[in-house]
Amino acid sequence: MRYGGDNRSRLLFVTLIVTSLFLITLDLRGVSLVTGLRHSTQSVFGPVQRAASSAFSPVGNFFSDIAHLGRTRAQLKNLQEQNSQLRSALVQRKDIETQIKQLKSVLNLAGTGGYKIVSAKVISQGTSDSFSQSITIDVGSNGHVTRDMTVICGDGLVGVVKEVYSSTALVMLESDPSFRVGVRIAGSQEIGILTGQGTDKAIMQMLDTQSTVKVGDVLLARGSEGGKPFVPGVPVGTVTSVPNSAGQVSQLAEVQFFTHLHSLGIVAVVLTPPINDPRDALVPPKPIPTPIPTVTIYATPPFVTATPGATPTATPTPTTKK
Amino acid sequence: MYTRRSINSVAIFLAVYLVQVVIFDQLHIPLGGFSIFLIFTLCWSALSTPEVGAIVGFFAGLLLDLAPASNGPLGQWALILSSIGFGIAFLRYGDDSLRSDPLSLVIFVAAAVSVAVTAYIGFNGLLGLEVGRVSQLIRTVIGNGLWTLAIAPFVLPVASRLHHAVFETREFQ
């Protein structure tokens, strides 16, 4: 049989309902007692909740991951795509930064030397049928480039234009075994012929049998008639060794190129030679050696008066501070 | 006798509330989750007389109102749970055929939880509080009901044993 309740229970129920409504009214009217009660509860349960939150957060995250499995997958895919795009952008940015750096240095060199140039980007690097050491640049006859023009970069000489097409040009690098350039030693102005060896080093042969060359000498392009194929004053390399052979007619020297031919990005073709020979103005500054700090320790043996039976004691030196 | 029952009941409800706050409130359970405290309260009310059901609902509601996460005015949960506690006890008490059937009790409790949540949301709406999107509300109400259907079979034996221990009444097995 169902319990129908009596008047007492109904009265109790009505009392509870009225009490609830009274409390709601009090709270909505902003009675401070209610706020105080909530704050007290918060202060009691706050620390417990914080501790529980750190303890149960892995379980909570697990449930959350299950609930949002599809969304999480989509987010993961999105993030992977974004990551890939950002990586690509980062690589591009680094590439652009390198190109800007190279462009700045080549403009600096051209400005100092007084060369009128057109900058170009290396679009391919490697051997071809005609030349074993060559690069292709993205400027051709449309950029007023013609055969036998000097190609430089921020570090110095790169090579010489050998073939010109409408929008590209083929450049023979200075490292090519068939490459020859007249050079002079900065300072002494003694001249020689530099020949590529297929590596990042070349051989220079002095023209004058009485000339002397020493390690560390900087070589600059001597320049050709009308600035073709070489404009004067372009840094070429530095002497790294001088073989001493008694039977040689003229002196030979091994030369290290200034230009890193394997990492060319931006180069410049010299369209017009300078009005005045820049002479030694383009000699690169010698690298400043990084100072290595050295610590010298002087051993100062204490002066101890040898007294039989006496124990040596450390005597502090009094200092006066003002 | 009455004082002992009251003290025991308060201790039990505080313990369940603590479990709710410390454990279940920290879990991001899908479909809106469930409130073990709400399920326990309604199970307890369903096993009690209408007077006890209403009183238990009222004080349990007050405890929920005082919860840090509660966004409604004080007395809102008390009003809802005292009404539903009285109602569920009124409907069930004395009906021996229903009383001996735990499954029907679970369904009753699940329905009562859904009604309680709906009433709470509706009340918030009437008071002009932010209640969220309708689709989300429907999902929460249905989710609570479904979770209660899943959880209540585990809560009911515990509530029944404790209720028996406090009031020395018949318990479900």
ipTM associated with this complex: 0.82
Would you call A66 and B30 a contact, using CB atoms and an 8 Å cutoff? yes
Q: Name which residue leads in pLDDT, A18 or B69.
A: A18
Cβ proximity of B75 and B83 under 8 Å: no
- Let me know whether A35 and A129 are in one domain: no
Per residue in A214-243, pLDDT (tens digit) is: 899 999 999 888 888 999 999 999 999 988
What is residue A322's predicted lDDT score, i.e. its pLDDT? Answer: 40
What is residue A80's predicted lDDT score, i.e. its pLDDT? Answer: 92
Best B74, B92, B98, B123 residue to mutate vs chain A (most A CBs within 10 Å): B74
Q: Could you tell me what percent of chain A has a pLDDT over 90?
A: 29
What is residue B169's predicted lDDT score, i.e. its pLDDT? Answer: 55
Asked if residue A103 is part of any domain, the answer here is no
Domain that holds residue A37: 7-63
Residues 6+ apart with CB under 8 A from A75: none
Q: A153: which strand partners?
A: A156
* Alpha-carbon gap, residue A208 to A192, rounded angstroms: 8
Q: Which positions of chain B have pLDDT values less than 50?
A: 173
What is residue B1's predicted lDDT score, i.e. its pLDDT? Answer: 66
What is residue A290's predicted lDDT score, i.e. its pLDDT? Answer: 75
| Residue A279: pLDDT over 60 | yes
CATH of the domain at A222: 2.40.10.340
CB atoms within 10 A of CB B76: 26
Would you call A67 and B67 a contact, using CB atoms and an 8 Å cutoff? no
User: In chain A, which residues have their Cβ closer than 8 Å to the Cβ of B128?
Assistant: none
Of the candidates A20, A28, A48, which has its C-beta nearest B82's C-beta? Answer: A20
Would you call B74 and A24 a contact, using CB atoms and an 8 Å cutoff? yes
What's the gap in Å between the CA of A33 and the closest CA on chain B? 11
**Which of the four pLDDT bands, split at 50, 70 and 90, describes residue A57?**
low
Best B23, B25, B28, B146 residue to mutate vs chain A (most A CBs within 10 Å): B28
Q: Which residue of B has its CA nearest to A32?
A: B74
Q: What is the mean pLDDT of residues A111-135?
A: 78
Count of domains for chain A: 2
Count of domains for chain B: 1
User: In chain B, which residues have their Cβ closer than 8 Å to the Cβ of A21?
Assistant: 75, 79
Q: Which of A227, A242, A272 is the last residue of a domain?
A: A272
Q: Does the CB of A63 have a partner CB in chain B at under 8 Å?
A: yes
- Let me know whether A231 and A150 are in one domain: yes
- Let me know whether A123 and A56 are in one domain: no
Per residue in A152-165, pLDDT (tens digit) is: 999 999 999 998 88
Token look-up 């820049």 returns A278
Domain that holds residue B123: 2-167
Cβ proximity of A221 and A150 under 8 Å: yes
Per residue in A72-104, pLDDT (tens digit) is: 778 888 999 999 999 999 999 998 898 899 899
Q: Name which residue leads in pLDDT, A314 or A19.
A: A19
